[in-house]
Structure 1
């Protein structure tokens, strides 16, 4: 049997950025749910109290699939640059 994988007691925010002028944010976090370690990339909306709340818009997949997701994102970035969809080639 393999070694037991570590579990996170609380989600760990890896990155976040504003998605639009309404102060919606995209938050990327690592977490454990029912024994599965996940990467969660989700849109959060600002509520009336000024707090960010998660929305149903996003994805959560096992961290073991993270290399495949990173490869797909990098392919999308390269294609967007090739098609001139990004101004000045900025990647941030």
Structure 2
């Protein structure tokens, strides 16, 4: 069996961006839960105090599956451009 993987004491936010005009955000973070390292892509909503709070809407998968997720996202971007849903210079 391989060496034990490091665990994160606290989630590490990798990126976030606004999802809509209601100030909902998509937050991508890395964390450890019950000994499993995860990547979490989750919608966060603004509370009354102006703080982002996670919602149940999102996914959490083992970080070892991250290359597969990235490949699938890249394919979706290519297909969206092919179908005219995105311009070539959209980010």
Q: TM-score, normalised by structure 2?
A: 0.97
Cα deviation, 1:32-86, whole Å, max 9, x if unaligned, reads: 0000000000000000010000000000000000010000000000000000001
- Note the aligned Cα RMSD (angstroms): 0.8
Q: Which runs of 5+ in 2 are unaligned?
A: none
- The residue matched to 2:42 in structure 1 has which SS? strand
Take 2:85 and 2:73, find their aligned partners in 1: how far apart are those partners? 15
Count of residue pairs brought into register by the alignment:
91
Corresponding residue for residue 2 of structure 2 = 2
TM-score normalised by structure 1 residue count = 0.96
- Map 1:37-76 to 2 at 5 A: 37-76=37-76
